Amino acid sequence: MPFAQHFATHIAHLGDLYTRALLEAGSGFEAVLLHSGSEHYHYADDQTAPFRAYGHFAHWLPVNRPNQLLLIVPGEKPVYFQVVPADFWYEQDIALEDWVAAQFCVERLPSSSAVAEHLAKRGVSLARLAFLGQNTHYATAIGIPAAAHNPTALLSWLDYQRACKTDYEVACIRKANRQALRGHTAARLAFEAGGSEYDIHMAYLQACRVLDEETPYTNIVALDEKSAILHYQYKRRSSGAHSQVLLIDAGCRSNGYCSDITRTSTREHTLPLFSELVDAVEALEVSLVHRVVPGISYVDIHQAAQRGIAEILLEAEICKGSLGELLAQRISTLFMPHGVGHLLGIQVHDVGGRQINTLGDIKPPPAEYPALRNTRVIEPGQVFTIEPGLYFIRQLLDPERSTACGKLINWNLVDKLLPLGGIRIEDNVLVTQSGVENLTRVSI
């Protein structure tokens, strides 16, 4: 199906969703006004932080600009109030692909304050208009009452539905995976050539042809011990000539949709045991992907990941005892403290991961796995990540050296592995009617 047709079907689907949302959770609202968001200035400064459009706005429209508005009235073509200020300090023009513009009534306005007049001309009652967006001061300024700002019931309904993707959304995520994989290849080559974290990061950006602020999140480019910092954010300029391990967690965007891929690489002079651990974690990741099937809980995937990490620890003689002992003592969580993944879409950690229904009821993660972001029952159309990891983190391990739990850990081996940091392998997967499609590995 042509991409334009995918988008047309996507917009029709969203129209149906919002009609149902207003009927089932609208609390008397008859229409929705989505606001993309406003720029935020650094404190005591005249420069703004990089802008990112509000997720529910971006769900409809691939426009990452502030102060844009979208009017959704059931049964009518959505109206895009394209706000383009007259300005010679900054570029303000917004280019829309024809296949995007065709799905909207586009009204170009010089400022967002002009929207109120256009709403009145269209006969939209502000008392029955739900406003969704962060800038509620703007909503108040144009006359939308506070009770209509981000109604909880409506947002819960819409958040829950975001987990299941249309063909258009899947096509965007697939394209974002292909783009990111080019960057991962370039990054690995830069690492093998002895590049610094900065060099590797720049190789990734250049191969993907993106700017830093265009990536869906701050690239994690970690050499050796820094790979044990789960969201390591810096890029050391010092030479990587003698580095042994690269962990790179980096993605791209396509029409606002994210990819989120992690790979761990080693060099020829890396401690052989660590390279074997990388292979073992990758094999675990592949096996976890194969476990995905509609009807089971995502928590089951996480529990299988923790069991798999415990098995790797025993096989490598990093830990001793029985598998049951390691799991009972929660030793695997010392080496994999994060969840095995999360929903993925417009946001890297997409909304609704712990919701069990459209009412907004939450299923918290198991007490022993508090960092797990996704506790939902797996359904066709969901897109999420699978990302087991095995890390040597001093802050978690050192306190256990003299405990009963610590007696099951081979500290001599741990001390040899600590300077090498950690391992994570991450793919993006689509749940199908019968199983799963790995969007990362089939996108190569």
| pLDDT value for 442 | 80
Tokens of 153: 């019931």
Amino acid letter, 430: L
**List of long-range contacts for 190-195, beta carbons under 8 Å, 24+ apart:** 191/223, 191/240, 191/243, 191/246, 191/265, 191/267, 192/265, 192/267, 194/239, 194/240, 194/241, 194/242, 194/243, 195/240
Residue 289 half-sphere exposure toward CB, CA atoms < 13 A: 24
**CATH class (in words) of the domain with range 3-161:** alpha beta
User: How far is CA 131 from its chain centroid?
Assistant: 25
| pLDDT value for 27 | 87
Alpha-carbon gap, residue 37 to 74, rounded angstroms: 23
Kindly tell me the number of DSSP H helices and DSSP E strands found in the chain: 14, 15
Nearest C-alpha neighbor of 369 from the set 313, 282, 307 = 307
Q: At what angle do helices 197-208 and 167-192 cross, to 10 degrees?
A: 140
Residue 391 vs residues 69, 107, 227, 394: alpha-carbon distances, Å? 44, 52, 8, 9
Report which DSSP code applies to 353.
T
**Stretches in the chain below the pLDDT threshold 50:** 443-444
Tokens of 17: 């969703």
Alpha-carbon gap, residue 202 to 418, rounded angstroms: 27
- The domain spans of the chain are 3-161, 167-443
**CATH class (in words) of the domain with range 167-443:** alpha beta
| pLDDT value for 444 | 43
DSSP characters over 171-219: HHHHHHHHHHHHHHHHHHHHHHTT--HHHHHHHHHHHHT--GGGSSS--
Question: For the CA atoms of the chain, what is the radius of gyration?
Answer: 24
Nearest C-alpha neighbor of 345 from the set 210, 176, 118, 193 = 176
The 10s digit of each residue's pLDDT in 217-268 is 999 999 999 999 999 999 999 999 999 999 999 999 999 999 999 999 999 9
